[in-house]
Structure 1
Amino acid sequence: MRAAIILAAGRSQRFGAANKLLARYRGKPLLQWAIEHALRAPVGRALLVVGADHRRLTSIAAHFPAHRITTVVARTPNESRRKSLLYGLRALRRHERECFVFLGDLPDLPGGVATRLAVRARRGAAAVRARHRGTPGHPVLIGDTATTRKRLEAGDKPFEQDEMVSIECGRAIIADIDRPCDLRAVPVRA
């Protein structure tokens, strides 16, 4: 079984005082876009890892079917991406042996990206990552959640370079929202 982890526990320092995941982009909060992308992936459920502002972020998740989304609150607000991922991996159920990792601030992911990664993962890669012209992006499909969790708990990298396969997926997989001006940028679809 496969799950999705949405990383939404960051500080958004470049965005200013506001929580960027609550900012509206094309009529919806950024976080809503991330949840929709994760739930369209070939997964049973999504885990939303939140830190500071978890009550307001959780209220967005409440608009989705409860059996499809689980909120995981990081004990220390504003965790690093690695620690947030570890919170998500620890919250997986025993039968969830693979998982996608989505970022909360990538609203324009092209449809089918997660499915493309899943198809490539069948060939035995430990992880499959979306990329654009050599730049790593998201989502990432982790093929062995237990091993990845153990490595992160030990303070190691989640994957060695030779264990990861990258697939060209277009510019949108790296077009995250970092500053308020990014919300006004023309959406990138390719």
Structure 2
Amino acid sequence: MAQSPRVVALIMAAGRARRFGSDKRLARLSSGETLLAATLAGTRYAFVERFLVIGRHDEPGRRLADAAGVNSLVAPHAGRGLGFSIADGVAELLRRNSNAEALAVVLGDMPRVAAATYAALVAAAHPGRIVRPDYRRQPGHPVLFGRDFWPALSRLAHPAGARELIVANRQALYPLEVDDPGILLDVDRPGDLARLGYR
């Protein structure tokens, strides 16, 4: 599968996983992989550049990034919620003068997203477009944000993420129907691993 230089991935892994009860990134799947490693593996071929967004003093996160061959970005405000982590990550991309046309916000606890879905999202990317995958009319993740939305993303101040930004820019939303229930499946609690078919 060809990589595209147009889209970078921000893989969000700075949350505290309070509902899981431990560091869910390290939860072992039936394949022997960790949850985060499985998610990272799915992104391997779609993006030419991937960044793992982690919290301050997160040595396990740094080791996971190194093991996967991805860069790590520190989100100083990760403790305030997903939106703040996204803002920190995008602000750092802007500081680094990334020349990408779009970025994908990938949740680190979604190992079932198909590689074909990532490829389809990348193919639909455009600087003025927000690309969201839908499965049977249900919206899922990851969501791609064109370059035009990066400044607004870097100012996010809502713990739930970028939902309000998407609502405010409905004219730019490009729903992409995919045959992939994995875009709806994340892991919040240990029991969710069974729901994904891992336990």
User: Which TM-score tier does this pair reach, normalised by the shorter chain?
Assistant: 0.7 to 0.9
Q: State the one-letter code of the partner of 2:80.
A: E
SS at match of 1:72: strand
In structure 2, stretches of 5+ residues that fail to align are 1-5
SS at match of 1:138: coil
Cα distance change on mapping 1:175 and 1:151 into 2, 3 Å: closer
Cα distance change on mapping 1:125 and 1:64 into 2, 3 Å: same
2:39 to 34, 42, 51: 34
Q: Name 2:3's counterpart in structure 1.
A: none
8 A Cα contact 2:89 2:154, kept in partner: no
SS at match of 2:115: coil
Q: Name 2:150's counterpart in structure 1.
A: 148
Cα distance change on mapping 1:15 and 1:179 into 2, 3 Å: same
Q: CA deviation at 1:125?
A: 5.2
Cα distance change on mapping 1:90 and 1:162 into 2, 3 Å: same
Q: What TM-score results when the alignment is normalised by the length of structure 1?
A: 0.83
Q: Name 1:164's counterpart in structure 2.
A: 173
SS at match of 1:28: coil
SS at match of 1:4: strand
Give matches, 1:39-188, under 5 Å. Answer: 39-41=44-46, 43-51=47-55, 54-65=58-69, 69-92=70-93, 93-94=96-97, 95-121=99-125, 126-144=129-147, 147-150=149-152, 152-153=154-155, 157-159=164-166, 160-169=169-178, 170-187=180-197
Q: CA deviation at 1:34?
A: 2.1
Q: Does 2:37 correspond to 1:6? A: no
Aligned CA RMSD, in angstroms, stands at 2.4
Q: CA deviation at 1:131?
A: 1.8
Comparing 90-99 with 3-12, greater Cα deviation is found at: 90-99
In 1: Cα distance, 2:111 partner to 2:35 partner: 6
SS at match of 2:103: strand
Q: CA deviation at 1:147?
A: 3.0
Q: CA deviation at 1:23?
A: 0.8
Q: CA deviation at 1:60?
A: 1.4
Size of the aligned set, in residue pairs, is: 181
SS at match of 1:121: coil
Comparing 73-82 with 159-168, greater Cα deviation is found at: 73-82
8 A Cα contact 1:51 1:79, kept in partner: no
Percent sequence identity over matched residues? 29
SS at match of 2:48: coil
Cα distance change on mapping 1:151 and 1:98 into 2, 3 Å: closer
Cα distance change on mapping 1:59 and 1:153 into 2, 3 Å: same
Q: What TM-score results when the alignment is normalised by the length of structure 2?
A: 0.80
Cα distance change on mapping 1:125 and 1:76 into 2, 3 Å: closer
In structure 1, stretches of 5+ residues that fail to align are none
Q: CA deviation at 1:120?
A: 2.4
